[in-house]
A and B are shown apart, each in its own frame.
Chain A
């Protein structure tokens, strides 16, 4: 009960500030917190990235392994995205099997990469119907100060660049890297008291009635949307949120991702 009261006071504080046109950390409504992207920190992974947005920290690792294709796509590699909200990252996270929040996080990141066809899965066929390369994207949250989705999505696309396919490790002959064809970037826009703001921190997230994550590509097309939170949004708000999402994604892409 005490926890709930503190929570409510925080929510009211964030809400009141935003009504005055301000954010607790002094940002404008359309400003991200500082972003730091570091690549290839984990030697044992085939690709990795650490993304920090403000105090939110996510580590993403990519592993490539041979495996059996799905029966309905015998000539295509497999993409699997998984996320763990480990208890180290937040007092709210508990150990145990994936819950709906970690599943949603992983599936939204996956959707952006899959929908944009960033990875050419047909190039990952080793022997049709028998053996294909499986690409595992594992999202490890280290510190949750809000907006894990955008950090995880940026970590995922960053870690996919320069992934060497480990032929030798599995006794196969060949040499290739993953072919990356697009740069999907996720931007989460929150609605608080009718105001729209990007990159909500953890307090803003709890004050937000709804959030919309917009994943957009280098050509400005959209390859993933997910509305979260128990409130409705008008058509005008949704259209505006996608415009903001596409625009902010363009800025992030130019600054932090290689050109395709």
Chain B
């Protein structure tokens, strides 16, 4: 987080004109890739992420197999051109950590016990980044898993809250993230209200944290409706064709 002060809230509005509890515009497309078993394109403001799912298929190398359940592999990757300063291609420490917590965010909804010894592979590519890419990736991955026909208990929805100019707000954009005081992404199973990802960077008072958690959970519920609608739209259409 950078020090130089810039005003992020003017006359009770954020620089983008959004209210404190307002998400950026979201666009979801299901089944956008031909070769993948399931896929999803997800836009959140200026973030563009695409997720592909392959599997369940044989796990290689075999010593990574689990005799009782499928192993989920999750790879979060940023395209070199997705950020202002070119990102060196390949996994860095940040993307490895994101891959781990994103996998743990999706694990609980996948009926992994149905496919022992297999791998379910989730590949997320961030094509354009504007803060919130891990949440966009999880939202895309969750829909892509459903599109691949992987048995799931529910979808996982994800969004961040943050603190800017002393206010707790929903869904930070890059400017707000850079100059803000805190950033807290969460992921949630909307039907059971279970939090499957929780991270926090920066500094929050305890009350701010508790308020932010509620705000983020509400944001996840809104995203969940959009994810569902996108899946219903695709599959109600394809049903008519048959």
Q: How far is the CB of B197 from chain A (nearest CB, A)?
A: 6
Question: In the complex, what residue of chain B is closest to A105 when comparing beta carbons?
Answer: B97
Task: Give the CA-CA distance A116 to B107 in the complex, in Å.
Answer: 31
Instruction: Say if the beta carbon of B200 comes within 8 Å of chain A.
Output: yes
Question: Does A115 contact B100, Cβ atoms closer than 8 Å?
Answer: no
Q: A76-B3, A115-B182, A230-B108 are in contact. Are A224 and B200 (CB under 8 A)?
A: yes
Within 8 Å by CB of B201, from A104, A224, A239, A242, lies A224
Residue A41, interface by CB 8 Å: no
Q: Which of A23-31, A44-52, A163-171, A214-222 contacts B (4 or more CB under 8 A)?
A: A214-222
How extensive is the interface on chain B, given as a class?
Answer: 35 or more
Minimal beta-carbon separation of B11 from chain A (angstroms): 28
Contacts of B192 on A, CB cut-off 8 Å?
232
A227 touching B3 in the complex, CB below 8 Å, given contacts A4-B67, A221-B206, A246-B206: no
Contact between chains at B204 and A221 (CB < 8 Å): yes
Contacts of A224 in B (CB 8 A): 200-201
B149 at the interface (CB under 8 A from A): no
Judge whether A73 and B195 touch: CB under 8 Å.
Answer: no
The docked-state distance in angstroms from the alpha carbon of A234 to that of B186 is: 12
Per-residue CB proximity of B200-223 to A under 8 Å, as 1/0?
A: 111111100110011001000000
Q: Do A235 and B97 touch across chains, with their CB atoms under 8 A apart?
A: no
| Residues 146-190 of B at the A interface (beta carbon under 8 Å) | 182, 184, 188-189
From known contacts A4-B67, A76-B3, A116-B203, infer whether A235 and B100 are also in contact, taking CB-CB under 8 Å. no
Question: Is the CB–CB distance between B196 and A222 below 8 Å?
Answer: no
Report the minimal beta-carbon distance from B96 to chain A, rounded to whole angstroms: 5
Q: Which residues of A contact B93 (CB under 8 A)?
A: 98, 103, 106-107
List chain B residues, Cβ under 8 A from A227: 101, 104, 195-199
| A132, B205: Cα distance in complex, Å | 31
Q: Digit string of A231-258 for contact with B (CB within 8 Å is 1, else 0)?
A: 1111100110011001000000000000
A residues 74-109 touching B (CB-CB < 8 Å): 76, 98, 100, 103-104, 106-107
Asked if A59 is at the interface of the complex by the 8 Å CB criterion, the answer is: no
Which one of B85, B206, B210, B213 contacts A220 once the chains associate, using CB atoms below 8 Å? B206
Q: In chain B between 108 and 138, which residues have their CB closer than 8 angstroms to a CB of chain A?
A: 108
List A contacts of B209 (CB < 8 A). Answer: 222, 225, 242
**Is A223 interfacial (CB 8 A cutoff)?**
yes
Q: A76-B3, A227-B101 are known contacts. Are A232 and B203 too (CB-CB below 8 A)? A: no
Q: Is the CB of A225 within 8 A of B199?
A: yes
Enumerate chain B residues within 8 angstroms of A98, measured Cβ to Cβ.
Answer: 93
Does the CB pair B101–A222 fall under 8 Å? no
- Least Cβ–Cβ distance between B199 and chain A, in angstroms: 6
Nearest-Cβ distance from residue B154 to partner chain A, whole angstroms: 10
User: B201 contacts A115, CB within 8 Å?
Assistant: yes
Q: Tell whether, in the assembled complex, residue B97 and residue A103 are in contact, meaning their CB atoms are under 8 Å apart.
A: yes
Cβ contacts under 8 Å, B214 to chain A:
235
Q: Is A72 part of the contact surface with B, judged by Cβ < 8 Å? A: yes
Contacts of A232 in B (CB 8 A): 108, 188-189, 192, 194-196
> When A1-B67, A115-B203 are in contact, do A233 and B99 touch as well, CB less than 8 Å?
no
Q: How far is the CB of B43 from chain A (nearest CB, A)?
A: 26
Chain A residues, CB < 8 A from B94: 107
- Contact between chains at B108 and A104 (CB < 8 Å): no
How distant is A202 from chain B, measured CB to nearest CB, in Å? 19
What residue of chain A has the Cβ atom nearest to residue B84's Cβ? A72
11 residue pairs of the A-B complex, CB under 8 angstroms, read A98-B93, A103-B93, A115-B203, A220-B205, A221-B206, A222-B209, A231-B107, A234-B195, A235-B214, A238-B213, A239-B210
* Sample of 14 more A-B contacts, CB < 8 Å, known A116-B203, A231-B194, A238-B195: A107-B94, A111-B201, A221-B204, A223-B200, A225-B184, A225-B199, A227-B101, A227-B104, A227-B196, A227-B198, A228-B104, A229-B104, A238-B198, A238-B213
Using CB atoms and an 8 Å cutoff, list the residues of chain A in contact with chain B. 1, 4, 71-73, 76, 98, 100, 103-104, 106-107, 111, 114-117, 122, 212, 217, 220-235, 238-239, 242-243, 246
